[in-house]
Amino acid sequence: MKKAVGFLLISIFAWCALGAEGQKDVSAEREVYNVKWVNGVWGSEVDPNEYLAEEVAKHFNIDLNMEFLPQKELNKKYSVLVASGDLPEVLTYIRRDANFVNWVLDGVFYDLTDLFGDYPNLVAEISMETINISTKVQGRIYGLPITKENVYHGLGIRKDWLDHFGLDTPETLDDIFEYAMKVTFEDPDGNGQDDTYGFGLSDSLYTAFAIFRPTFQEAGVQGTSWKVEGKELEYNFLKPGMTDFVAFLRKCYEAGLVDPASLTVRDNENVRSFNNGKYGLINQNLETFAATKKNLIENLPDSRPVPMVIPPVRAGYPLRMSRSGGWFRMVTMTAAVKETDEAREIMGLFDWMLGDGYEFLSFGKEGVHWEGRNAAGIPQLTEAWFATPPLGENWVNLWLMLRRSSPEFIARPEVRGTEDDVELQKNIALVAEYSTLSPPFVESPIDPILTDRRQRAEERALTGVMQIIIGERPLADLKVLQEEFWQEARGALEAENESLK
Amino acid sequence: MAQKLTTRIKRYRAIYLMALPGIIYFILFRFLPVWGNLFAFVDYSPMKGIWGSPWVGWKHFDRLFNHSDLFMLLKNTFVISFSRILIGFPVPILLSLFLNDVANQSLKKRIQSVIYLPHFLSWAVAANILLIILSPHGLLNAFLETLGREPVNFLIEQDYFLFILNGQSIWKEAGWGTVIYLAALSGIDPQLYEAANIDGASSWQKIKYITLPGIKGTILILLILRIGRLINENFEQIYLLMNPLNREAAEVFETYVFRIGIQGGEFSYTTAVGIFKSIVAITMVASSNHLIKRMGERGIY
């Protein structure tokens, strides 16, 4: 008996030892790559590592570590990362700018040209046309562009206030003006204080005019960025539609509909003021508006924020609210990736995320975030999904843009909201005229001295525009500003134009 | 000589030991980074390192001296700096003289506690307090409205920027600035005041002939040190108060370096800006030190 027990024990130990040895052999064959992926996010972010890293490890030899930095700090942080040489393996880069091109030339980014064609989902979902104008430098590919084709920009408006004033949903800028007047001067929150405004601007020249920017897109005004028209770069500030844009905002400011305090506060304060029930309008894309709406209702349960179609600048003008490339980011691999095998593994990860992994990214983990499917095969979300989106809101939102939008996909599941919301979003989508592919905004990738001159001219011009809006300069000065801008920046503009051809 | 130094170190080892952390600090954070100035003479490429980056000589300095903003930066830096000396520097002295004359010790301590307090707040908190006071919906505008005046958006007006900046600095730092002067005042021989009392000197005469001469050396040394810091104006404070509409009056070298160097990733160019700034600062310190020595006072070296 003792012999038998002894034999059994020896056998068990031997089996365990062999098993361990066997496991060791397997892991020794599979080199696991530590991949740090740095992203920028607005606001707080749920750490997706718990679910995502676990899922990724099932499919790839990758130990994935997602890191999130505040979007506003991203330029600074990336500069420091690059300067220190402490590069993560993957960076979600903001846009094609002078830094990007210079860093490509310095060898900061991994050349994806020879790899790209091997990944069918990437090839299928990412347009080569977009790559050509965004992430290619000297004919080589250095990033996977993320362009959002279905950005349903709208205005968020207080339906409860519209009802209170007996107004219909605004359809023209004059309607907007009338509504904003009532919000500002007729105390819609009934607190007896003069503390509500039509809307706010911002202390940033580049986002100050965002509230009505989509309205003026059809007039050619899209903020300060370049836009490729045909083969020429055109500068929006110089377009005639800018006059309409500035005149309308000036009229609103003169009438007291713009919160003057908004001119000295940082970004997102407008959203906070809307959430606190102090502004009548907010401009957001409809996905972001869903979060705003949720917050406002939490603060003020009787409020009824709804998205609305942005009125055209003039009757009969088409709206181009949805622009491919209106949102632009790019996923880049850096020089921290030394081996081709590692690069292929990471490209495989990107490919999976747009293919088999896409459902996981959208809906989370089966049994936790969703259970069962409806007749159309769409996973049915559980309460857990709504309580805490499994992979973080911002990042997943960003990533999902990489896939070309399908007609079925209006917004992330939580944003779809009620049937009414879905209907409304569809209506907004229908009135918009979609251009097939307009490229992402580009910044000058050329000599920084020229860029300096152009940026300086741009800052002066935009400061002047702000001064016109707040009444410190006459409206007629816009023409002067446009001329001064052209004189000051002409050389730089022409050189930039040439360099991008 | 070497032996003498060793002997001295042995004899005063406790003192040398105490100085050691300071010496290490200066070596690590003040002397070694001087090599970083080489960035200004290369087109720094992070992947090639400083030695692998191409040498470009004075290119970045040329760019700075031909930049359309250079005049604005110099003007703003000097205007802000000198206004701080003219307005901000005398306030702690006046406050100290006032506190020195407060006979009630309990009251004096209370006043000191109150005026020291803002020093311990961060500039971000100070900026928010200012926002509460000066914004279009702020306390000052509420007061103006009660007087029937139109509200003013103080924070976007270039004309108000200098006053706001200096006012905020005085509120935050003047109290704390009295500490050194009060210490210097306590070192003045009380017999001088007694003699002055016997001679029938007025309060003003005592200040003029005893107090001010008694702390003159301290004032001058602090002035030189202040001049040395002139061009390193408080970045945080200005950055938090700056917005597109007052930028023409607010942008100084520090904020410019931050915007272009850190945010724009142009390390070589902004190192050149930093070197230029340092040369101006050294020139100012040396000149003021020389001037003060010619006035018969002791300089800082």
Instruction: Give me the helix-helix angle, B212-229 and B90-101, nearest 10°.
Output: 150
Distances (CA, A) of B162 to A401, B136, B153, B226, B247: 46, 18, 15, 18, 12
B222: helix, strand or coil: helix
- Encode pLDDT of B41-97 as tens digits: 998 877 788 888 889 999 999 988 888 788 888 899 889 988 888 888 999 999 999
Q: Which positions ≥6 away from B101 have C-beta within 8 Å?
A: B203
% of residues, chain A, pLDDT over 90: 23
H or E element: which one contains A284?
Answer: strand A281-285
Determine, for residues A79 and B247 on separate chains, whether the beta-carbon distance falls below 8 Å.
no
Nearest Cα of chain B lies from the Cα of A98 at a distance, in angstroms, of: 9
Cβ atoms of residues A390 and A364 within 8 Å: yes
Euclidean distance between CA atoms A310 and A170, whole angstroms: 9
CA-based radius of gyration for chain B: 24
97-116 in A: which are within 8 Å (CB) of B?
A: 98-99, 102-103, 106-108
**The pLDDT of residue A414:** 38
Which residues in chain A touch residue B245, judged by CB atoms under 8 angstroms apart?
A: 263, 463, 466-467, 470
Of B47, B69, B264, the CB nearest to A106: B47
Determine, for residues B46 and A463 on separate chains, whether the beta-carbon distance falls below 8 Å.
no
**The pLDDT of residue B2:** 58
Which residues in chain A touch residue B263, judged by CB atoms under 8 angstroms apart?
A: 75-76, 79
H or E element: which one contains A372?
Answer: strand A370-373
- Encode pLDDT of A62-100 as tens digits: 999 988 887 777 777 888 888 777 899 999 887 777 778
Q: What pTM was computed for the model?
A: 0.73
Neighbours of B115 (CB within 10 A): 19
Euclidean distance between CA atoms B141 and B69, whole angstroms: 34
Determine, for residues B45 and A106 on separate chains, whether the beta-carbon distance falls below 8 Å.
yes
Cβ atoms of residues B153 and A260 within 8 Å: yes
**The pLDDT of residue A451:** 62
Cβ atoms of residues A245 and A310 within 8 Å: no
Euclidean distance between CA atoms A374 and A380, whole angstroms: 7
- Encode pLDDT of B208-229 as tens digits: 999 999 998 889 888 887 877 7
- Encode pLDDT of B250-272 as tens digits: 998 888 888 777 766 778 888 99
- Encode pLDDT of A225-271 as tens digits: 444 455 455 666 776 667 887 888 899 999 999 998 888 776 567 88
The amino acid present at A12, given as its one-letter code, is I
| Predicted confidence (pLDDT) at residue B126 exceeds the cutoff of 90 | yes
Any bridge partners for residue A370, and if so which? A366, A381
Mean predicted lDDT score pLDDT of chain A: 74
- Closest chain A CA to residue B60: A449
% of residues, chain A, pLDDT over 70: 61
The amino acid present at A275, given as its one-letter code, is N
Of B68, B156, B264, the CB nearest to A264: B156
A400: helix, strand or coil: helix
Euclidean distance between CA atoms A372 and A380, whole angstroms: 6
**The pLDDT of residue A223:** 43
**The pLDDT of residue A286:** 64
Determine, for residues B245 and A466 on separate chains, whether the beta-carbon distance falls below 8 Å.
yes
Which residues in chain B touch residue A106, judged by CB atoms under 8 angstroms apart?
A: 45-48
Determine, for residues A260 and B265 on separate chains, whether the beta-carbon distance falls below 8 Å.
no
- Closest chain A CA to residue B39: A83
Query: A-B interface: how many C-beta pairs under 8 angstroms?
Result: 86
- Closest chain A CA to residue B59: A449
Determine, for residues A260 and B155 on separate chains, whether the beta-carbon distance falls below 8 Å.
no
Determine, for residues A83 and B46 on separate chains, whether the beta-carbon distance falls below 8 Å.
yes
Euclidean distance between CA atoms A335 and A353, whole angstroms: 22
Q: Which positions ≥6 away from A153 have C-beta within 8 Å?
A: A214, A283, A284, A285, A286, A310, A321, A322, A326
Of B69, B153, B248, the CB nearest to A260: B153
Euclidean distance between CA atoms B69 and A383, whole angstroms: 56
Nearest Cα of chain A lies from the Cα of B82 at a distance, in angstroms, of: 26
Euclidean distance between CA atoms B232 and B278, whole angstroms: 9
| Predicted confidence (pLDDT) at residue B110 exceeds the cutoff of 60 | yes
Determine, for residues A83 and B267 on separate chains, whether the beta-carbon distance falls below 8 Å.
yes
Euclidean distance between CA atoms A12 and A18, whole angstroms: 10
Determine, for residues B244 and A459 on separate chains, whether the beta-carbon distance falls below 8 Å.
yes
Residue range A414-426: average pLDDT? 48
Of A75, A107, A204, the CB nearest to B263: A75
**The pLDDT of residue A413:** 38
Determine, for residues B244 and A80 on separate chains, whether the beta-carbon distance falls below 8 Å.
no
- Closest chain B CA to residue A468: B245
Euclidean distance between CA atoms A319 and A222, whole angstroms: 13
Euclidean distance between CA atoms B83 and B89, whole angstroms: 9
**The pLDDT of residue A337:** 94
Chain B contacts to A (CB-CB under 8 A) = 44-49, 63, 67-69, 131, 135-137, 151, 153, 155-156, 243-245, 247-248, 262-267, 269
Euclidean distance between CA atoms B276 and B272, whole angstroms: 6
- Closest chain B CA to residue A85: B46
**The pLDDT of residue A475:** 93
Of B48, B155, B243, the CB nearest to A106: B48
| Predicted confidence (pLDDT) at residue A470 exceeds the cutoff of 60 | yes
Euclidean distance between CA atoms A389 and A335, whole angstroms: 32
Which residues in chain A touch residue B267, judged by CB atoms under 8 angstroms apart?
A: 79, 83
Of A102, A108, A261, the CB nearest to B135: A261
Strands A258-259 and A199-200: parallel
By C-alpha distance, which of A172, A112, A136 is closest to A347? A112
Q: How confident is the model at residue A3 (pLDDT cuts 50, 70, 90)?
A: low
Ranges of H-type helices in A127-206: 128-134, 159-165, 173-185
| Predicted confidence (pLDDT) at residue A444 exceeds the cutoff of 60 | no
Determine, for residues B46 and A78 on separate chains, whether the beta-carbon distance falls below 8 Å.
no
CA-based radius of gyration for chain A: 26
| Predicted-assembly ipTM surpassing the 0.85 threshold | no
- Encode pLDDT of A178-230 as tens digits: 999 999 999 999 999 889 999 988 766 555 565 665 555 544 444 444 444 55
**The pLDDT of residue A46:** 58
CA angle A483, A486, A487 (to 5 degrees): 85
Euclidean distance between CA atoms B225 and B78, whole angstroms: 16
Sign of CA dihedral B132, B134, B135, B138: positive
Nearest Cα of chain B lies from the Cα of A466 at a distance, in angstroms, of: 7
By C-alpha distance, which of B268, B228, B233 is closest to B252? B233
Would an 8 Å CB–CB cutoff place A269 in contact with chain B?
no
Euclidean distance between CA atoms A242 and A240, whole angstroms: 5
H or E element: which one contains B180?
Answer: helix B158-186
CA diameter of chain A: 107
Cβ atoms of residues B188 and B211 within 8 Å: yes
By C-alpha distance, which of B159, B175, B156, B162 is closest to B86? B162
Distances (CA, A) of B53 to A104, A108, B40, B49, B57: 15, 14, 11, 6, 12
